[in-house]
Chains A and B, each alone.
Chain A
Amino acid sequence: MSEVEETIKRIQSHKGVLGIIVVNSEGIPIRTSLDNSTTVQYAGLIHQLTMKARSTVRDIDPQNDLTFLRLRSKKHEIMVAPDKEYLLIVIQNPSE
């Protein structure tokens, strides 16, 4: 198995991790460990949020760019690693 697959499996089996989603640049999930409806929901919403966040960062300084986004809520934490071609989303419940 490639390193990428192994790392994804490890993250998935990490303590408290609810799911991992890879979304392409249009907001369509291409790999997920959650069920369909949740995935679609997360993919669409997080994609928009990431675009907005990136736009904000770059508006302030066009040479800057967004590297990581963490969204902590009461129940869990959503971590997003954006890239030009995809988005990597991990949802974790850290207090488990």
Chain B
Amino acid sequence: MSSQKKRTFQIEAFKHRVVVDPKYAEKTWKVLEHAIHEIYNHNASGLSFEELYSHSPLPLDGVWNTLFRIHQFMPWCKNSEVAWNAYNMVLHKFGEKLYSGLVTTMTSHLKEISQSIESAQGEIFLEELNRKWIDHNKALQMIRDILMYMDRTFIPSSHKTPVHELGLNLWRDVVIHSSKTQARLRDTLLELVLRERNGEVINRGLMRNIIKMLMDLGLSVYQEDFEKHFLSVSANFYCLESQKFIETCDCGDYLKKAERRLNEEIERVSHYLDPRSEIKITNVVEKEMIDSHMHTLVHMENSGLVNMLVDDKYEDLGRMYSLFRRVPTGLTVVKDVMTAFVRDTGKQLVMDPERLRDPVDFVQRLLDLKDKYDKIINMSFTNDKTFQNALNSSFEHFINLNARSPEFISLFVDDKLRRGLKGVGEEDVEIVLDKVMMLFRYLQEKDVFEKYYKQHLAKRLLSGKTISDDAERSLIVKLKTECGYQFTSKLEGMFTDMKTSYDTMQGFYASQSDVGDSPSLVVHVLTTGSWPTQPSPQCNLPSELLGVCEKFRAYYLGTHNGRRLSWQTNMGTADLKATFGKGQKHELNVSTYQMCVLMLFNNADRLTCKEIEQATGIPLLDLKRCLQSLACVKGKNVLRKEPMSKDIAEDDTFFFNDKFTSKFFKVKIGTVVAQRESEPENLETRQRVEEDRKPQIEAAIVRIMKSRRTLDHNNIVAEVTKQLQSRFLPNPVVIKKRIESLIEREFLERDRVDRKLYRYLA
């Protein structure tokens, strides 16, 4: 319309009754009909509304004239009620005719168009369809504009299809669903997709337009005429392709191809299909390429999941994860295979007799295994929590298959704190300790670890061989956080004793005015109960020592009332200055027992084993070990033995080895280093652990029964297990025995009627 300013326009009411002459209506319809023809015949492009309505070749008079004029000015008409009423009145009588005429005219035009499309040859078919569609839309728009007010008034009230929609429906029914066109259209589109999948370049713009046409015609048209078939054909395509790939590719390559196809389809949708199709086509690809071949892929020989894990193929694993995530149960399959493999690997590791010889190496390998899989989960599986949990449960499973794991972990810690972490920065120390804690958490028998840890810690403290007090304390804090105060209170007691002993020594030497020739003594005073050591009877100390020992005892007891001290001669060390045959001097670092033996040779040239035993009072088994270490080890043989055999018999004779030589001035002979236990020692420790568990189980039972008053058997077992699980896993048979013991001692009674029920006796 022209840029007329809004101005009020008043129409006078008709002063006379309007009589509508059917002939006029007929005439005026012809005008319209002609106009529509003109539009379809592309003659309307030059026409403006003014021309159409005011300069028509036929005279427009009467009511229709008025109508069209009104129509022309309607947007600017404020007092349009009268006009509306007139218009409506007319429309009411002739609207029906107008509408049916429209339908007929449009239909006949479309039939012509349809035929022209049907006759298009080959490639031109789609192009022709597209062209005609564009034209139709333009025409439709114009017709709608002309009949806009009919659209807004007559059509709603008579419940007829609006013009625009009518135009689309007619296009659909007459053109698209013509018997020749419908199938041809579908097949043409599908063939183009196939060619594109096979690598050809196709006219994507044209595809997009055609597809958009289908969508404009309605979602059901798009789905029924295209999408449905597209999905089914794609399914076949990918089914065949995946079959071919599976037979010719290895797992990694297959996954690459699958990923590529998936991305292709997504891209295809974004370029020329309805966005809602994306999920549907990706489901098809996922099902045909991944879901159907999941197990084959995962278990593929030489290239499947296990191989990828072994070879740290992060990229391939990442691809497998992101693809398998798309299908139901995909990740479960991956996780299960990984879990089984990790369990198997771990099991082999912990049960391998070769590995069991070197505890430090054993634990290091466990840590390496964990690191490897942590990295895989991090780099390829997006730190997926379910995979983390599966890894943790696998570790927990196989670590506990070996009953010596607690001992070995403690030995590993011992090695690190004794020398492994020497010179390592504080942060890195923390990292190692945190890794140890992680392994500790997997242990079911934490109380066994505690026992060994105590033993090893005691040795470290007493021999002064710990590289860092801070590192020791840091680990204790971690253990306390994990297990509670009870776990570490005795350990802390050991540290306290060491500190106190140091202070005591200072005080002792300060109080001694005359040190003289006596050997210098360093004493550690250990509180019984905090330390894991077995008390042993004192052996006979050399006379040179007795003086200073007594002085210390007197000093200590003088400042500490009511205490008892006993020398633990099985645990001490000594430094001896020795001069050999040719005058060579050495400093010997030995155990207390070894010192007692060697000092005897100051006053005797030869002694039998029996004589030494009598003189020193050392228990025979320990003495034999001691003599072996002094006489039978190359480089440390300060004594000579006759006969030269490795075994010690009671009447073997020992001589001071004048001919002893060593490149080192300081010779270390004593060993107080923590070592893995021999089998009998191991059995003994285990028995002690079992004995220690009995009162803990009983205490738990009593605690539970005291609060519950009555409880049945299975529930007691479950509760006890739960209460103790942070320390160890109690054996249900042992729990039962403890209950029976408590019944016998009348802490509990069994119900007379229901023998599964127990009652607490106050």
Question: Do A and B originate from a single complex?
Answer: no
Residues of A within 8 A of B (CB): none
